[in-house]
Amino acid sequence: MKESIYHPLFILLLIVLSFMLLVCLIRAVKGPRVADRLMAVNMMGTMVMVMISVLALLLREGYLVDICLIYAMISFLSVVVISKVYIGIYEEQHHSQEHTEGGNADERG
């Protein structure tokens, strides 16, 4: 009796969430800058967390919520690490460009 009410509700929630996930993916593909894409990935992570929690109640498996907690931590870590790495690569390229520009000027002269 109880499952007959909750089951279609959870299925509907999963369908709506997956549509919103697709819209987030469009933002990640369209995003003109790197920060846009990272932000979209962060949003997708949030929606996937809700989906995993819904699945945990739908399948009656409590341990899926543990996976959700670990997913939250890894998603946060990935955003921080990718931002830091990208800032480092950008500054390195900037410095190397300045050096090569100086070197080229000497070669041209």
Partner 1 sequence: MNAAEWIRLIIGCLFILTGMVIFFTELFGVFHFKYVLNRMHAAAMGDTLGISACLLGLMIFSGLNFTTLKMFLIIVFLWFASPVSSHVLSRLEAATNDNLSAHCELYEDVEVLERELATTVENGNTEEKEESV
Q: Confirm if 11 and 51 have CB atoms less than 8 A apart.
A: no
Whether 17 contacts 47, CB under 8 Å: yes
One of 3, 18, 84, 102 touching partner 1 (CB under 8 A):
84
Give CA angle at 34 (16, 17), nearest 5°: 5
Closer to partner 1 at the Cβ: 36 or 98? 36
Shortest CB 9 distance to partner 1, Å? 7
- Out of 3, 7, 83, 98, the only residue in the binding site for partner 1 (CB under 8 A) is 83
- Taking the complex as a whole, the smallest distance from the CB of residue 107 to partner 1 amounts, in Å, to 25
